[in-house]
Structure formats: structure tokens, C-alpha cells
Structure 1
Amino acid sequence: MASPSFFFFHALLMVAALATTASSQHLSPTFYDKICPKALPIIKKVVEDAMQKERRMGASLLRLHFHDCFVNGCDGSILLDDTVNIDSEKKANANINSARGFTVVDRIKSVVDKACGGPVVSCADILAVAARDSVVALGGPTWKVQLGRRDSTTASRTDANKDLPSPTMDLPQLIQNFNKHGLNSRDLVALSGGHTLGFAKCSSFKNRTYNETNINTNFAMSLRKSCPVSGGDNNLSPLDQTPARFDIRYFQDLVGKKGLLHSDQVLFNGGRGSTDGIVKRYSLDARAFSYDFAKSMVKMGNIKPLTGNKGQIRKNCRRVNSEKLKMF
């Protein structure tokens, strides 16, 4: 007899596949099944190889997809380097000296294009699939990634600075930021749960460590050892206490006033905040978190995709094609 977990994750997959928006009507989880059936297994293999070398890479690839989608939609614009015509989003405040995983994406693109006989798989789709595969490799849920995005021919550092959430944002600002992208408060909390993976720099949480009151005293004291009042801005601390495992420790930390970033802890305010109930539930129910996270990842991945004749399939994820490619 199948285990309860089998039925749960089967249901999770079904809901995630249905959680699409009107803007994603041209996307499909089977988009590459005929034109390049090797594509998804190759992406998975390259992601897993990269994570064997560095477990932290999983969090970095997940973050790239998030930071791509929040700036003019999931179009691979975050991958574009500076040119005369491109003001790279890599230089935005939330990305500079912080966003990483670009060489892994380059590797995926090279191997996939070779296997597919040409540039068939978009860079935007690579980001979406790599994010899913990273989560799964670190013990998280899976979901059916909607596919068929095309790549942007532009990028905007200005829009990235405007649209990417900041670690200093308060709850109303975060809710407004997510609402702008068609995401609600539950999506905000579920997607913030991606901070169960990875690290943040001292500069992102220094003010919280020394000046905020909604923080566990012992936790603040421990952070000060690696994040001094002066200097040490690039020193890293884990976003939760199990940074290489997808679990509910992040939410348990919030309930215990041990959220690393200001924008993390504002999600839980001791029972008085509008998102407190969601955080409390996730802190007690791993299945509820996994279910909602998968559903919200599909929803986020459907933000303003380029489909049909819009955009292009880049030959190199870092550069716009010099000429239009034949559509596959």
C-alpha cells in the first residue's frame, strides 16, 4: 500500500500544476517533451553536480529565479551582463556582490543546447527548472514547472532597485511589494520560507542585531561575534540554523524571535501581526508549508512570461542575440 506521503505529494503536484494564471496560458509542463525530451533531466544533473561541489549553490539558484521574476516578469533578464544598451540588473542593490550561480546557468545552457541540437531551451526556463531541482535536492517538495518562457532582450537596474524586496522592509511594504506582482500574503510567507536555505551578509542584518528589540537576546549576542559594529559587512550567517536543508526551522526561528533579517521577523510579531497565523502553522506543519511553497512557486513562475513571438531564445544567457533565432 502506498504511504501517506505518496498521496500528499501526488496531491501537491496536482495543485501546483493547476495553480496557473491567465498570463501563463501559453506555458505547459510538457513544452519540451517533443522538441527536446533530454532537457529537464540534463538540467537536473548539472544542478545536482554543482550542489555536490557546493551545497549553498541550491539557495543561490532558487534566489536567481525569484530575483528574475520580480523584475518585469520571469524572462531571464537578471542574467544579462552590462553592454552599451543593457544596464545590468546584476548591479542592482539586492544583487551586486550577492546574486550568484551565473556560471552554473552558463554550464546548463551549454550542455542543454548541445543535447538539443541548438538553442531550444530559454534561459528563463532554465532558471525556473533549476530552482525546482535545487529545492528537491535539499529535501524540499517538487512541482510541475510551467515551461515555454522566452528570454528578454532588455534589463533594468532601475526596475530591479524598485521592485526587489529589501531586507529592511516592514510587513506592509512587503505585502504591497508582493501584491504588485499578483502574490498575496500567504504567498509572501510561503516564498519567504525559501530562507530556510542559504546565508545572508552581515550588512543585511547588522542594524537588526544591534538596534532592534524583537530579537532573542542570546541570538543577537551570537550574531555580534561574526557581525561587529564596525567592519565585517561581508561575513555570512545562515538564514536559519539548517541552511542546507529544506525544512520548517526558518518558521520555528521566527516564532522564537530568531529571524535573521528584519524582513523575516516582521512576518511574526508574537500573535499580533496579520501573517502570524500562517507562520505559526508552518512552524508546526511541514506538509502545509511544502504544499503552499510549491503552489506559490508555480504562481511566481507565471509572472508576466514572454511567450509566442515575444522575446527570444538566447544563445548565451549573458547576451542578447545579435539576430533573431528561428522559433522551435
Structure 2
Amino acid sequence: MVLSRPQENPMKSLSFVSLLFVGLIVGVHGHGVDFYTKECPEARGIVQSTVVAAIKKNVDSAGALWNLHYHDCFVRGCDGSILLDSSHYGPAEKDSGVPDSPKEIAYDIIDEIKYAVEKVCPVTVSCADILTLAARDAIVELGGPEWKVCSGRLDGFISYANESKFYMPGPSADYQTLVQKFALKGLTEMDMVVLSGAHTIGKVKCSVIESSLYNSSGPCGVDPTLDPTYAMELKAQCPIGSSNLVFLDPTGDDTSVNGSSPPPYPGHRRLLATRSAGNTVDKNYYVRVSGKNAKTGRATSTNQNLKVRNSKGTLRSDRNLMSTKSGKALVYREAGFSKKDLASAADKENQPFFNDLVKSMEKLSTLKDPSSPGGEVRCNCRSINL
């Protein structure tokens, strides 16, 4: 089936005068790592300090910010459209009801940053840039790689709930659908597998995975691709009808021994003292998805009747990364397994995952929608300027 974009509401079209004004804004807004050096040199420091403080207060903030950035870029490009509240025209992206929607805590952090930035540099730093920088800083704060983020994005005028439903891959998406959804955004199969690594941190609602635990074709209603031991752990946390949250990657960094941290990644700023199981950016997500032992590279368990390797991927879409030959190869690459099916000693520092993550995040953060009618620098991230 060929995917086609949902039709837009003509009532939301901008007037000719508005479009002309937007054109003037676009003409003077550029891109670059040093974009705010003169206009607002305090901006990046404010973003970083606010993100660090938020994560120290609630470590779940990191995963929420990364998820928010991903949702934003995946619909209309990185234009802050996910931040807009619904209006009388209809529901916005944030109210689409798609599973694994960004958590309110992330919106509150962006509001806090915007308020602080506006006090020193009014109508200068876009919400889209704030969100992109905040996501990068959150990844770094939980042990991930650091990279330079270009600034100069504009905030969009449009946010449609139906577009979010159309573009966002679901938590049960099969491999072909995942590849197709990413391809619509100019992202490759490898980008899809690498960006799925965002599930190395964060939590998911039990309701999202309930069908895999109770209503599938395997024994006791468990999805046959899900490791039975892990399924029992999840059932203990997620009884039927539960509103609890569970970690997407509950074990943290397998390369850390006796509390010691792995060697820092080049350019790495810090490792948060409170980083722990489920709150560390590392390759362990791929080790769990692969169904292999991190040290031996051998399968932890296999369903002999169905001849499928049991994965410890929390979401069905995670486990579906192992459903094709090319998907398996990419998961093994990111997990650091060598061609001989053994853990590669050279990859103990989370490479090549970190190298690949930087490249894919750079691509994600520069996505644009050519059909969007320009943009502005919002005074309030939740609404367009009047």
C-alpha cells in the first residue's frame, strides 16, 4: 500500500499577507552551530542547565525530552509543531492519542527554558531550537554521545493530530512498516534501527504492551517472540488493566562492572551520578532485543516449537527488528557483536552505536517539511504569535 499524506483543513490556511510576512522572516533566519553566538549567547547555557536540573529532579525527564523531539521532527520536520496546544480548529499533534505520546513533563521543561530565555533574549530563540538542544543535552546527561547542534530553526504555524497518527510508527509496527515510515522522511533502514535505540531510556505505559503479555498466540497468552522470563517480570509489573509504567530497557549498561563506568565517549561531557538501570544511554537495548547474552553472544533462550529466538525487547516493534535478515544484522552491529557471534571487546564503549546515533540524530534534527508555510519565533511555545 502506498502511503499518502492526510488532507489539510483549508480553514487553517494562512492569508497572502501572512505568507508574505513569513517569507520575510525566513529570509533573515539562517542555520549554524554558532547561530545564537551574537543574538543570544546565553541560550545554550540556559538550555543545558535547565535540562540537567530537571533530570536530577526526575530522571524520566531525559527519555521524555528525547521522545518529544522525535515526535516533533517526524511529522512536519523539527518545527516545534508538537508543542502547540489544540485550538478551535481541532486537535493538535500532542492530542493525537497515539501510543507512547510525549509526556507532559517534557512540555513543562520546554516551557521553563523558553521563559528563562525570553527574559534575556526576547523573541530570538525558537521553540524548535530549544527542543532540539534539550534532547541532545538529555542524551549526553545520561551517558550518551555529544555532538554539535545547528540552530536557526523556525517554529511552525500548523499542528494536526491526524498527521501524527499517519506518520508516527506504532509500538506494534512490523519491520516493513517501520522501514516505510522512516523512508517517508528520507531516513534509511539503518537510521530506523539506530533511532529505535532511543528506547535505551524512558518508560512505556503497561497498556501499550498488555496485548503482548495476555492476548497473544504463545503459551499463557504471551507473544511467542518475547522472552518468557522477561514476560513474567513484565506481568508482575503490569497486571491486566494496569496504568503503571515500565522501563523500555530495564537493565542499564552491561559494560559497567561493580559500579564503575565505561571509558567516556570522545566529546562526552559528563556521566550523571544517578544513572542507573533503565536510565543509561547504551547499547544494552540492542543486546536485549537480540536475545543474546552480552558476554557470550549466544542466545539466552529459544522457543523450540516455533523456532524463534526470544527477545527481551519491551515493545513488539522492538522485537520486530529481529524479524528480517537485514534487521538482525543491524541489531547485532549496534549491540557490538562480531561476525563470529561473540561480543566484540573493541565495542565495550558502546561503539558503533554512539557513532551511528550521532549521524542519525543529526539527520533527524535537520528534517524539514517543504509544504510548511514558513515559520516564526514564538513568544509562547504552546501557541502561535497573534
**TM-score range, shorter-chain basis?**
0.7 to 0.9
Equivalent residue in structure 2 for 1:54, among 47, 54, 58: 58
Tell me how far 1:43 sits from its aligned partner.
Answer: 0.3
Match of 1:279 in 2: 331
Looking at structure 2, the residues matched to 180 and 96 of structure 1 have their Cα atoms a distance apart, in angstroms, of 20
Query: CA separation of 1:97/1:319 partners in 2, compared to 1, >3 Å: closer, same or farther?
Result: same
Which AA in structure 1 matches 2:281? F
Question: By how many angstroms is 1:209 displaced?
Answer: 2.3
Q: After superposition, what is the alpha-carbon deviation per residue over 1:165-213, rounded to whole angstroms, capped at 9, x for unaligned?
A: 1001000000000000010011001110010001111111112223211
Q: Which residue of the partner structure matches residue 194 of structure 1? A: 198
Q: CA deviation at 1:96?
A: 7.9
Q: Is the 8 A contact 1:198 1:238 kept in 2?
A: yes
* Distance in 2 separating the partners of 1:293 and 1:106: 27
Aligned pairs (5 A) from 1:157-236: 157-210=161-214, 211=216, 212-228=223-239, 230-232=240-242, 234-236=243-245
Equivalent residue, structure 2, for 1:290: 354
Contact 2:322/2:331 (CA < 8 Å) preserved in 1? yes
Moved beyond 2 Å, runs of 4+? 93-100
1:31 pairs with one of 28, 32, 35: 35
Tell me the equivalent position of 1:74: 78
CA contact (8 A) 1:215 1:259 kept: yes
Quick one: distance in 1 between partners of 2:330 and 2:95? 34
AA matched with 1:249: N
Distance 1:182 1:52 in 2: 35
List per-residue Cα deviations over 1:231-258 (Å, max 9, x = no partner).
Answer: 11x2111101222111111001001110
CA shift for structure 1 position 273: 2.7
> How far apart are the structure 1 equivalents of 2:100 and 2:208?
13
Q: CA–CA distance in 2 between the matches of 1:114 and 1:184?
A: 40
Alignment correspondent of 1:238: 247
How high is the sequence identity, in percent, across the aligned residues? 39
Q: Structure 1: state its 5+ residue gaps.
A: 1-24, 323-328
Match of 2:385 in 1: 321
8 Å contact kept, 2:197–2:286:
yes
**Alignment-mate amino acid for residue 332 of structure 2:** K
Q: Give 1:37-48 correspondences, 5 Å limit.
A: 37-48=41-52
Which stretches in structure 2 are left out of the alignment for 5+ residues?
1-28, 217-222, 253-277, 292-310, 337-346
Give yes or no for contact 1:267–1:273 (8 Å, CA) kept in 2: no
Change (3 A) 1:208 1:99: same
Distance in 2 (alpha carbons) for counterparts of 1:275 and 1:123: 35
* Alignment-derived partner of residue 14 in structure 1: none
Cα shift at 1:93: 2.4
Contact 1:90 1:99 (C-alpha < 8 Å) held by counterparts? no
Compared CA separation, residues 96 and 175, structure 1 to 2 (3 A): closer
1:304 to 343, 358, 368: 368
Task: Tell me if structure 2 keeps the 8 A contact 1:90–1:96.
Answer: no
**Could you tell me the TM-score, scaled by structure 1's length?**
0.85
Post-superposition shift, 1:95? 6.2
Q: Which residue of 2 aligns with 1:21?
A: none
Instruction: Identify which of structures 1 and 2 has the higher relative contact order when contacts are C-alpha pairs closer than 8 Å and 6+ apart.
Output: 1
Change beyond 3 A, Cα 1:73–1:267 = same
Return the alpha-carbon distance in structure 1 between the equivalents of residues 40 and 90 of structure 2. 30
Closer, same or farther: CA 171–127 of 1 in aligned 2, 3 Å: same
**Cα deviation digits, residues 276-306 of structure 1 (max 9, x gap):** 1111111123121001111101101111168
Between structure 1 and structure 2, the one with the greater Rg is 2
> Contact (CA 8 Å) 2:100, 2:204: kept in 1 or not?
no
Q: Is the 8 A contact 2:171 2:317 kept in 1?
A: yes
After superposition, the C-alpha distances for 1:70-114 in whole angstroms (9 at most, x for unaligned) are: 111111011111222352111112268753311110000010111
> Which protein is richer in helix relative to its size?
1
Equivalent in the alignment of 2:340 = none
Distance 1:253 1:172 in 2: 21
